[in-house]
Structure 1
Amino acid sequence: MSYYDPLETRDPEEREADLMDKLARQVAHAKETTHHYFQTLAGINPFDCTTRDALARLPLTRKRDLIELQKKHPPFGGLNALASGRAKRVFASPGPIYELQGMDMDPWRMARVLYAAGFRHGELIHNCYSYHFTPGAFMMEGGARKLGCAVFPGGTGQTEQQVRAIADLRPDGYVGTPSFLRIIVEKAEETGADISSLKKACVSGEALPGVTRAWLAERGIAVRQCYATADIGAIAYETEAEDGLVVEEELLVEIVRPGTGDPVAPGEVGEVVVTGFNPDYPLIRFATGDLSALLPGRSPCGRSNVRLRGWLGRADQTTKVRGMFVHPEQVAEIGRRHPEIRRLRLVVDNPEGQDRMTLHCEIGEGAESLAERVVADLREVTKLRGGIAFAAPGGLPNDGKVIEDSRVY
């Protein structure tokens, strides 16, 4: 078994101690160097932030709020410790959301991800992420350069030219979306082009269906997934075990109940929250808006960090009912008022064309005595009338859904 460095197999307690030390230092750095954290972490002593419990008490920075933050404090919402004029590059993701790249070659930590996908020093990588506006291509290129690989900047589209370049240059592997890789292989088979040099791929940006993985494997291409965002970079990555996604070494990852910052029990689906240690763009408890869950045990590949099940949906399930927005945070507020309720799920449907809300509550005993108070709290918090239904412990699905919109139009 081959690893990028010894960090991947270190004792979990050693890793946790290292991350907690870095957390305290990063909180201090963020408070000192950014407008946003100077305000939101006021009153926080950074060097008290040395445990998971202390981390869970810090406020979230939500991805969905970045657009408004950046309007108030352009261009980066006051989250940047590095001035834009000193950045190597500035990017725009859909929204738009602006991100900067500091002077580090691989601030997104993609070298480890590529190594786990089988790439090695001296190889040529065909890069089919976009080089336009967004950082995707540069994220992979930075990791490739750190790993000692050359990169062909294929970008997106122009399938026939991509096939010709692969046939001529004989790259060792591909990075890009899995769907575009399949399009390239199909075009090569259609035209008779020899692209057999492609033996591996590191894919991201969309789901990798099992049928696509198998189809590519039949053609000699081993595919590994990476879970990453433009703001954070690599969060977790797949290894040869193909059993969950191993969390990147330089991150603190939490799974929290949607609409709150409260960590969920191991194995429960919730929102992925990440704290990174990038000194130029420090993000503390960055709520990605993605759903996932932790897998139990250690990866069969031997890496000792925790694993994610993969992308399981979106955490922001805000919906509009009778002209009013209902948010996961409102459902969470009802849960805080009634801690005896183990799990909540607000189901919105429209029998006979009329919107209807029903709050499903997972509880052990005493449901009858709660009903009237929960219905009243539902109306007070959402400003909408709704019903209530009770379920036994374990009766609601473990899928991270707080609001389920079941309306049929």
Structure 2
Amino acid sequence: MTEHYDALETRDTTAREAALMAALPGQVAHAKKSSAAFAEILKDVNPAAVSSRQALAGLPVIRKHELLERQQATRSAGGDVFGGFSAVGLGAHMPRIFSSPGPIYEPEGAARNYWRMSRAMFAAGFRPGELIHNCFSYHFVPAGSMMESGAHALGCTVFPGGTGQTEQQVQTMAELQPAGYIGTPSFLKIIVDKAAEMGVALPSVKKAMFGGEAFPPSLRDWFAERGITGYQCYATADLGSIAYETQARDGLVIDEGVIVEIVRPGTGDPVAPGEVGEVVVTTLNPDYPLIRFGTGDLSALLSGPCPTGRTNARIKGWMGRADQTTKIRGMFVHPGQVADIIRRFPEVARARLVVTGEMANDIMTLKVETACGGPDALAAKIGDAIRDVTKLRGQVELVLPGSLPNDGKVIEDARSYK
């Protein structure tokens, strides 16, 4: 049994980076030419110059709320439901359309393994010729189709279980004897508990690939005690597969079809290796060519290769949400405003806005890392910038470099709501 899905997973890191950067200008050019939204967003960009991560970091980040706003604007005008982001139209090149909360509409292209889920399934132990019980939803959201198309590309047969009907799920698993399960971990736990309650054995279900929610070690151990080995995948309805867990259980390996950056929340600025920030993805998908799409998820890059021999970079996994917009004294303050304040002071390395106090008595303190002298004068200038940007008064606390937690938080709401 082979250990890797294909040779791409174990190629030299320099060769991978060169291949990705060689493909990047073409993808940017394609997005600009074939997508009305990116034609506008990248109107002043020369695609040929976007051939490095440094150049990529100079492009704007497109966040989900901006995608939604563009979709709403074009829909209200009776135009493109995708807000101009799709590079293909209705018909043979777009077999399905899905909807996520918002609603945001996502196209599914016709390419085999369109969402690139096969690689994650292989890492979770699934192999050609096996039957997979797929309990992701098949309606509205793309999760069910994501997994089914990936399983078919891997050479597996799929039972489309979907969600709900727990007793029927148990009966079907007992009779069809699938090799494993794909869906949320919480629903498989419900199925396993129901099977025990019904006195029905599910001996064939030995492996699982989970997504859509957290998979803590306690739940991983609970499944292991029942003979089921589960692994996580990280995917979104906009991008498909982004990263996946391996037998090493040491972070998530980035998929071969995307370029991942970790940026400071509220900005497009890449953070230092190991620092927590927002996951920003550029996909090489020609049908839906999202360039620097902000997922809104927090994570961090891990150092070194995966112990399984896969050589792509790894992320730590889901570490929370990057959108930390907070209402303070009746005004919304968001991470981008904190970034605007800090950009004015090159002597400041990092900052964290901490909101304390009780309801109707908010205290706003901006903690900034700096090694410079003259703290009183610097603090006063930063205080003026806080008032200028947020229209609120705030305190300033200067701390030594490295003092702030590495958790990706730019705004911390520490108020008492009792």
Q: What TM-score comes out, normalization by structure 2 length?
A: 0.96
- Separation in 1 of the partners of 2:128 and 2:68? 39
CA drift of 1:369 comes to 2.5
- Separation in 2 of the partners of 1:267 and 1:371? 28
Note the alpha carbon deviations across 1:281-322, whole angstroms, 9 max, x for none: 110000000000000111111100000000000001001111
Secondary structure of the residue that 2:202 maps to in structure 1? Answer: coil
Q: 2:213 aligns with which of 185, 194, 206?
A: 206
- Which residue number in structure 1 is paired with residue 71 of structure 2? 70
- Separation in 2 of the partners of 1:266 and 1:162? 44
- Which residue number in structure 2 is paired with residue 406 of structure 1? 414
CA drift of 1:335 comes to 1.0
Q: Does the 8 A contact of 1:178 with 1:206 survive in 2?
A: yes
CA drift of 1:365 comes to 2.6
- Which residue number in structure 2 is paired with residue 373 of structure 1? 381
Q: Does the 8 A contact of 1:204 with 1:226 survive in 2?
A: yes
Aligned length: 409
- Which residue number in structure 1 is paired with residue 344 of structure 2? 337
CA drift of 1:379 comes to 0.3
- Separation in 1 of the partners of 2:291 and 2:359? 46
CA drift of 1:84 comes to 3.0
CA drift of 1:271 comes to 0.3
Q: Does the 8 A contact of 2:347 with 2:372 survive in 1?
A: no
Q: Does the 8 A contact of 1:159 with 1:184 survive in 2?
A: yes
Secondary structure of the residue that 2:238 maps to in structure 1? Answer: coil
| Aligned-partner residue type, residue 378 of structure 2 | L
CA drift of 1:351 comes to 4.1
- Which residue number in structure 1 is paired with residue 78 of structure 2? none
Q: How does 1:137-176 map to 2 (within 5 A)?
A: 137-176=144-183
Q: How does 1:6-405 map to 2 (within 5 A)?
A: 6-74=7-75, 75-85=81-91, 86-351=93-358, 353-366=360-373, 367-405=375-413
Note the alpha carbon deviations across 1:86-106, whole angstroms, 9 max, x for none: 410000011111000111121
CA drift of 1:339 comes to 1.7
| Aligned-partner residue type, residue 122 of structure 1 | G
CA drift of 1:190 comes to 1.4
| Aligned-partner residue type, residue 3 of structure 1 | H
In the alignment, structure 2 segments of 5+ residues that lack a partner are 76-80
Identity, % of aligned positions = 60
- Separation in 2 of the partners of 1:229 and 1:196? 31
CA drift of 1:67 comes to 1.5
CA drift of 1:155 comes to 0.3
CA drift of 1:323 comes to 1.2
- Separation in 1 of the partners of 2:361 and 2:39? 47
| Aligned-partner residue type, residue 169 of structure 2 | Q
- Post-superposition, which runs of at least 4 consecutive aligned residues in structure 1 deviate over 6 A? none
Secondary structure of the residue that 1:329 maps to in structure 2? Answer: helix
Q: Does the 8 A contact of 1:84 with 1:100 survive in 2?
A: no
CA drift of 1:73 comes to 2.2
Q: Does the 8 A contact of 1:335 with 1:344 survive in 2?
A: yes
Secondary structure of the residue that 1:388 maps to in structure 2? Answer: strand
| Aligned-partner residue type, residue 411 of structure 2 | I
Relative to structure 1, the CA distance from residue 321 to residue 353 in structure 2 (aligned partners, 3 Å threshold; closer, same or farther) is closer
Q: What TM-score comes out, normalization by structure 1 length?
A: 0.98
Secondary structure of the residue that 1:179 maps to in structure 2? Answer: helix
Relative to structure 1, the CA distance from residue 356 to residue 84 in structure 2 (aligned partners, 3 Å threshold; closer, same or farther) is farther
| Aligned-partner residue type, residue 379 of structure 2 | A
Secondary structure of the residue that 1:84 maps to in structure 2? Answer: coil
Note the alpha carbon deviations across 1:104-137, whole angstroms, 9 max, x for none: 1211100111011100001000000001100000
| Aligned-partner residue type, residue 206 of structure 1 | E
Q: Does the 8 A contact of 2:117 with 2:240 survive in 1?
A: yes
Secondary structure of the residue that 1:373 maps to in structure 2? Answer: helix
| Aligned-partner residue type, residue 315 of structure 2 | L
Q: Does the 8 A contact of 1:84 with 1:90 survive in 2?
A: no
- Separation in 1 of the partners of 2:391 and 2:114? 45
- Separation in 1 of the partners of 2:404 and 2:376? 18
Q: Does the 8 A contact of 1:64 with 1:289 survive in 2?
A: no
| Aligned-partner residue type, residue 398 of structure 1 | N
CA drift of 1:202 comes to 0.4
Secondary structure of the residue that 1:342 maps to in structure 2? Answer: strand
| Aligned-partner residue type, residue 73 of structure 1 | T
- Separation in 2 of the partners of 1:405 and 1:351? 11
Note the alpha carbon deviations across 1:136-171, whole angstroms, 9 max, x for none: 000000000000100000001111110010001000
| Aligned-partner residue type, residue 10 of structure 2 | T
- Separation in 2 of the partners of 1:386 and 1:369? 15
- Separation in 2 of the partners of 1:203 and 1:171? 16
CA drift of 1:221 comes to 0.7
| Aligned-partner residue type, residue 82 of structure 1 | V
Secondary structure of the residue that 2:194 maps to in structure 1? Answer: helix
